[in-house]
Structure formats: structure tokens, C-alpha cells
Chains A and B, each alone.
Chain A
Amino acid sequence: MASAAPSPTEYVTHHLTHLKVGEGFWSLHVDTLFFSWVLGLLMIWFFRMGANRATAGVPGRVQNFVETLVEFADKTVRESFPGPRAFMGPLCLTIFVWVLLWNLMDLIPVDWLPRLAHDVFGLEYLRVVPSADPNATFGLSITVFLLIIYYGLKGKGVGGFAKEFVTHPFGANPLLVPFNLILNVVEMIAKPVSLALRLFGNLYAAELIFILIAMLPWWIQWIPGGIWAVFHILVIPLQAFIFMVLTAVYIGLAYEHH
């Protein structure tokens, strides 16, 4: 807790404020970027370690683990996406592992890293869970959104994609075109929004609860904290998995002919 015994409101607000540079839209959450980069590089380093030593013979532990992840992602893509998987596989693998690592940051006791940043580096604010920052989740889901459009155009062609936009789902009657269009636009926009908000909401809420638990007396914290952490261990991979599967499903739907 901060030095001068802050009020609960101050404590919570402090924990929910990003380390930020710049003003307005053109500002950056340095903490989110830093931790997602560190985790992402950790992920890439680990993957590379598995891939560099990849042999067709008996796999080592790292290779085995990376292979399990690769197969898992590959299987998920195969089930929902009918096209070539050279890009889709790495996409889903990256999403799953990266988001999983983001979410895992939630299990680090809420005061440790902010305290360290404050005392050692003199940073006023620090939030360590990238997935509790909507910028991070929207960054992911908007990229996915662009890929949905890209794969829609690639799978159906510009004409096919546009045609589906105005004739689906109600039919090709000219009178129905506006309704089709409105529904499709809403549906299109709902995809990245729901993807991002689902992940953000889950992790933000979880982080908030950990913060609230941290305000209890120290000798009782382990009971609610332990219970919540155990519950959260289920949420962490689940949310990462949902993000990956929905990405594969959305892109698969956009790619496929109806």
C-alpha cells in the first residue's frame, strides 16, 4: 500500500491508473505495452527454443510442450477454418499463448510489481495485466477484425463478400437490402467489440477483486485470495481459449461459402 495510508478509494484508483505518457488519444500506456512486449518476447523466445531444437526424433521437454501448443492451435483452426493454415495456425497460437500469459499476470500479488516500480524506478503508477486494459484487448480484436474482412474478401471475392453483405440473412429482395445491410454491419462490429470486451471484462473484474481482497487485514487475505485465485486459474486459460476459438470461427465463417 502507498506510503501515507491511503483511503480505500485512493488505493483502488491508484491501482487502476495506467502509467501513461502523452495526452488525449495520442498517449501510450507504457505499462501495458511494456508487459505485453515482455510477455510476447518471452513467448517468442520459448517458441524459438522449441522450434530451433525441433527434431523428428525423440522431442525434448520444451519441444514437446511447444508441439502440444502448436497441435492444439492447429486442431482448433482445422475444426473451424476450411482454408490453408499457414497463417491461421500461427495466428491462433499467438493469440492463445499471448493472452494466456497476459491473464497469468493477474496471479502476481497486486502490490508487488507496482511497489517495486515505485520504490526502485520511481514510477507513480503501474498496471501489470495487459488484458485488463481495453487498449490491449481491442488492439487484438481490431487486428482480428481486419483479418476477418481480409479473409472474407479472399475467400468469397469482393463481389461475393459484398453480395453476402446485402442479401444475407433475409434474402435478395431489394426491399430487404437495408435490413440485411444494417444487420450485417452490426454483426460485423459486434465481433471485435464482444471479443475485446469479454476478455477485458473478465480480467478487469478479476483484478478489481484481487485489489479489494488486498485491502483486507493481512492475516485473512489468504482465504478469499486463495479461493479467488483458484477460481481465476480456470478463467485464465478459458478466456485465452475463447478468444482463440472465436477468432478461428469468425474468420472461418467469413472465409467459407454459404
Chain B
Amino acid sequence: MDINATLIGQGLTFFVFILVTMKFVWPNIQKAMAEREQKIADGLAAAEKGKQELEQAEERSQELVNDGKQKASDIIAQAQKRGDEMIEEAKSEARTEADRVKASAQAEIDQEIATAREKLKTEVAALAIAGAEQILMREVDKSAHNEVLDKVCAKL
């Protein structure tokens, strides 16, 4: 082995290279790697956040859809109910009207009956008197028996 000043040259060279690496290489690379690490971490966090937000939005939209469905079915139910009510109202109105018409018809009929009965009474009385006149001929004095005839008439 031939040990000589090459040793010193090598040692110095080595030291210079270390210093150059330390000054111009190491910090740049370390910085870039640290920054990239940060970027990746940020990106992952953002992705996570985005995912969560998407989930929330989905939840919200589901809620809205459910709400809408609920409202729609409420409206339909209300309309149904209102329709039923209207039909019911119309029915009862018709019934009242029918009753009213029936009652007035009844009243008219009753009136008619009463009038006809009145008329009949008078006619029967007249007929009875005429019959009695025929039977009794002259013996009957109209004026003398009027009172009796009226009584008969009233009984009819």
C-alpha cells in the first residue's frame, strides 16, 4: 500500500462535495418533498371534505324529495277530502231541495184536497137539499129549514 498525499486530496475533495451537496442539493430536494407531502395531504383532505359535502347534499336532496312527496300526497288527500265534501254538500242540498219541493207539493195537494172537499161539501149539501126538495116537494119551506140544513152541511 502506497499511502501519500492523495489521501489529503481525497479527504478535501470529499469535504467539498459534502458541502456542495449540503448547500445546493439537499435543501431543494427536501423542500420539494415536504411541499409535495403537504400538497398530497391537502388534496386528500379536500377529497375527504368533498366526499362529505356530497353525502350531505345527497341527504339534503333526499329530504327535499321526501318533503315534496309528502306535500304532494297531502295535497291529493286534501283534494280528495274536499271533493268528497263537495259531493256530500251537493247531495244534502239536493236532498233539502227535494224535501222542500216535496213539502210544497204536499201542501198544494192538501190545499187541493181541502178545496175539493169544501166544494164537495157544498155540492153534496146542494144535492141533499135538492133531493130533500124532490122528496118532500112543497112541504119544505126553505127558509124554515135553513137552520137544519146548515147543521147538516156543517156535519159533512
Say yes or no: B3 contacts A139, CB within 8 Å: no
Docked-complex contact B14 and A98, CB < 8 angstroms: yes
Given that A93-B26, A135-B3 are contacting pairs, would A32 and B10 also be in contact in the complex, using a CB cutoff of 8 Å? Answer: yes
The distance from the CB of B121 to the nearest CB of chain A, in whole angstroms, is 123
Write the residues of chain A forming the contact surface with B, with a CB cutoff of 8 angstroms. 18, 20, 22, 24-29, 32-33, 36-37, 40, 43-44, 47-48, 50-52, 54-57, 59, 63, 66-67, 70-71, 74, 86-87, 89-91, 93-94, 98, 130, 133-136, 138-140, 142-143
Q: Is B154 an interface residue when CB atoms closer than 8 A count as contact?
A: no
List of A residues within 8 angstroms of B1 by Cβ: 134
Once the chains bind, are A94 and B32 in contact (CB under 8 Å)?
Answer: no
Residues of the B chain whose Cβ atoms lie less than 8 Å from the Cβ of A44: 17, 20-21, 25
Contact between A135 and B29, CB atoms less than 8 A apart: no
B14 pairs with A94, CB closer than 8 A: yes
Contact with A along B129-156 (1 / 0, CB 8 A): 0000000000000000000000000000
Cβ contacts A to B, 19 pairs, < 8 Å: A18-B2, A25-B4, A32-B10, A48-B24, A52-B28, A55-B32, A66-B25, A70-B25, A71-B33, A94-B18, A134-B2, A134-B3, A135-B2, A135-B3, A135-B7, A136-B10, A138-B3, A138-B10, A143-B15
How many Å lie between the Cα of A43 and that of B25 in the bound state? Answer: 11
Structural contact, A47 and B25, CB atoms closer than 8 A: yes
A28 to B31, CA, bound (A): 40
Given A33-B10, A67-B29, A22:B5 Cβ within 8 A:
yes
By the criterion CB–CB under 8 Å, are A94 and B21 in contact?
Answer: yes
Closest to A18 in B: B2
* Interface status of B49 (Cβ within 8 A of chain A): no
**Interface contact A48-B25, CB-CB below 8 Å:** yes
Contact residues of B: prevailing secondary structure: helix
Q: Range of interface residues on chain B?
A: 20 to 34
10 closest Cβ contacts across the A-B interface?
Answer: A139-B10, A56-B35, A135-B6, A90-B22, A54-B32, A51-B28, A90-B21, A47-B25, A139-B11, A29-B6
When A26-B4, A90-B18, A90-B21 are in contact, do A54 and B29 touch as well, CB less than 8 Å?
yes
Given A26-B5, A90-B18, check contact A135 B36 (CB 8 Å).
no
Contact A133:B5 (CB < 8 A) given known A70-B26, A93-B21? no
Nearest CB of A to B11, in Å: 4
How many angstroms between the C-alpha atoms of A50 and B38 in the bound complex? 20
* Contact status B22-A86, CB under 8 Å: yes
A57-B36 in contact (CB<8A): yes
- Would you call A33 and B13 a contact (CB within 8 A)? yes
Find the B residue at minimum CB distance from A26.
B5
11 more A-B residue pairs beyond the given contacts A32-B10, A67-B29, with a C-beta to C-beta distance below 8 A: A18-B2, A20-B2, A29-B6, A36-B13, A40-B13, A47-B25, A90-B18, A90-B22, A134-B1, A135-B10, A136-B10
In the bound assembly, the distance between CA atoms of A54 and B17 in angstroms comes to: 20
Cα separation A43 to B24 with both chains bound (whole Å): 13
The digit string for B30-48, where 1 denotes a CB below 8 A from any CB of A, is 1111011011000000000
Option from B3, B13, B22, B31 in Cβ contact (under 8 Å) with A87: B22
Contact A94 B24 (CB under 8 A): no
Inter-subunit contact B21/A136 (CB<8 Å) = no
CB distance from A200 to the nearest CB of B (A): 8
CB-based contact B29/A66 at 8 Å: yes
> In the complex, what distance in Å separates the CA atom of A91 from the CA atom of B17?
9
A51 touches B24 (CB 8 A): yes
Residues of A with C-beta under 8 A to B9: 28, 33, 139
Task: Give the distance to chain A from B56, nearest Cβ to Cβ, in Å.
Answer: 31
